[in-house]
Amino acid sequence: MAAPTRTLTIKTKLIGLLAIILIAGFSYSLWFLKTDTSTKDPIQVQEESSAEKEQNLPEPPKEKWTYVENLKTKNVEVGQYEVKQNGPYKMQCGSFKTRAQAESLKAKMAFLWC
């Protein structure tokens, strides 16, 4: 019996060729960045003094709205409220698909507070 021969399709050959080209291009770009003289020296940034920074600040924009000025002169009335103790309160601690899951959490919480 003859062994079956493996033949590469044109699609497989093109994908392999494209992969080789991309790997070669990536390798070349890394080599180019490594050997390029403009990437060797870090960029030098001169820092301005605080006086120069203050001089270079632009004028603040003029406010279109008056709420900023209104808030400066606004008086807030504070009322006296009495809190009434009406008894036990209810709080939602979770959302469950079954009643058994909810009852399980309810039992765990009951034992925590004992």
Q: What percent of the chain has pLDDT over 70?
A: 88
Cα(18)–Cα(23) distance, rounded to whole angstroms?
9
pLDDT per position as a tens digit, 17-69: 999 999 999 999 999 988 887 777 777 777 766 666 667 778 888 878 888 78
Cα(29)–Cα(22) distance, rounded to whole angstroms?
11
- Say whether pLDDT at 97 is over 90: yes
Let me know: does 43 contact 49? Beta carbons within 8 Å.
Answer: no
Q: Which residue has the higher pLDDT, 96 or 78?
A: 96
pLDDT at 16: 94
- Say whether pLDDT at 98 is over 90: yes
pLDDT at 1: 56
- Mean pLDDT across 77-101: 82
3-state helix vs strand vs coil in the chain, percent to 5: 50, 0, 50
pTM (2 decimals)?
Answer: 0.32
